[in-house]
Amino acid sequence: MQYIVKQGDYLAKIAAEHGVVDWSTIWLHPDNKELRDRRHDPQVLYAGDKLAIPEPQRKTVDAATEKRHRFQRSGKTLKLRLVLQDLSFVPIKNADCALFVDGIKHDLVSDGDGLVELAIPATTSEAKLVFRSSARTIEVPLLVGHLDPIDTVSGQKARLNNLGYFAGTMAEDDEPLFKSAVEEFQLEHMGGGAAVDGKCGPKTQAKLKETHGC
C-alpha cells in the first residue's frame, strides 16, 4: 500500500501503526528507493512524502503443546537523544533532568557532552524535558517527529530556533528575520572565508545539520 506522510510522522511510528515490527523492512523496500535517495534519514520525513508499505508477513513457529514458550520481539530500539548546551554552545554537564514521555517521568543525568538519551516507544509524539541551569528551572516541550528535512525552509528554521537563533515561527513568512538568523549562524560556525550572505545553501545546510546533530 502507499502511505502519505503527515506532519509528525517518522518511520518507526508509521511502522508501529501498520503492524510492522522492524521499520527497516519498509525503508529498504525497492519501491522506496527514490525516497531513500532524497531523505537519507528515515526518522526525518516531510509531509506529503509517499511511502510504500509492504503487507505484514506472517511467521509460524513449531512448538510443543502444553509447554510454556518464550518469544522475543525483534526490531530496532528507538532513542530520543538531546544535547544540552549554554548560549556559548558549551555542554551542560551532569545536569539532573526529568524527561516525561507518555506521562511517565524518567530521572536522568546529562553526560560529559551534555547528552541525555532514553529509549522510547515508537508511538511517542510528545515529550517534555525539565532541568535546572544557572539556578533556574527550564522546561522544554518536545514534538517528536516534527523536525522537517534540512533542505526545507521549515526544517532550517526549526534547527536555527533549536540552536538559539530566532528565525521566526513556522507560520510566519518573515524573510528578513530568517536571513538574519542564517547570517548569525554563518558568522559563528562557518569560518575559513565562507560567505556570510544569509542564504541557507548546501554548505550552510550541511553545517547546520552537523551543528544541530540531525
Task: Based on the fold, state whether residues 92 and 132 are members of the same structural domain.
Answer: yes
**Mean pLDDT lowest among 7-21, 92-106, 128-142:** 128-142
Task: Based on the fold, state whether residues 134 and 157 are members of the same structural domain.
Answer: no
Neighbours of 121 (CB within 10 A): 12
Task: Based on the fold, state whether residues 44 and 19 are members of the same structural domain.
Answer: yes
Neighbours of 21 (CB within 10 A): 15
Confidence band, pLDDT 50/70/90 cuts, at residue 57: low
Task: Based on the fold, state whether residues 23 and 41 are members of the same structural domain.
Answer: yes
Amino acid at position 159, single letter: R
Residue 58 maps to a domain: no
User: Smallest Cα–Cα separation from 52: which of 16, 77, 15?
Assistant: 15
- 199 vs 73, higher pLDDT: 199
> pLDDT tens, 81-96?
999 988 888 999 999 9
- pLDDT for 21 equals 85
DSSP 96-143: EEEEEETTEEEEEE--TT-EEEEE--TT--EEEEEEEETTEEEEEEEE
Number of domains forming the structure of the chain: 3
* Cα–Cα distance list, 111 to 81, 107, 183 (Å): 12, 13, 31
Phi, psi of 88 (to 5 degrees): -100, 10
Q: Is the pLDDT of residue 71 over 80?
A: no
Answer yes or no: are the C-beta atoms of 210 and 192 closer than 8 Å.
Answer: no
- 51 vs 133, higher pLDDT: 51
**Mean pLDDT lowest among 39-43, 166-170, 198-202:** 166-170
Amino acid at position 90, single letter: V
- 88 vs 36, higher pLDDT: 36
- pLDDT for 88 equals 86
Confidence band, pLDDT 50/70/90 cuts, at residue 74: low
- H or E segment to which residue 208 belongs: helix 202-212
Supply the range of the domain harboring residue 9.
Answer: 2-52
Confidence band, pLDDT 50/70/90 cuts, at residue 195: confident
Residue 70 maps to a domain: no
> pLDDT tens, 143-182?
999 999 999 999 999 999 999 998 988 777 778 899 999 9
User: Smallest Cα–Cα separation from 164: which of 188, 129, 146?
Assistant: 188
- pLDDT for 77 equals 78
Q: Is the pLDDT of residue 39 over 70?
A: yes
> What pairs with residue 132 in β-bridges?
137
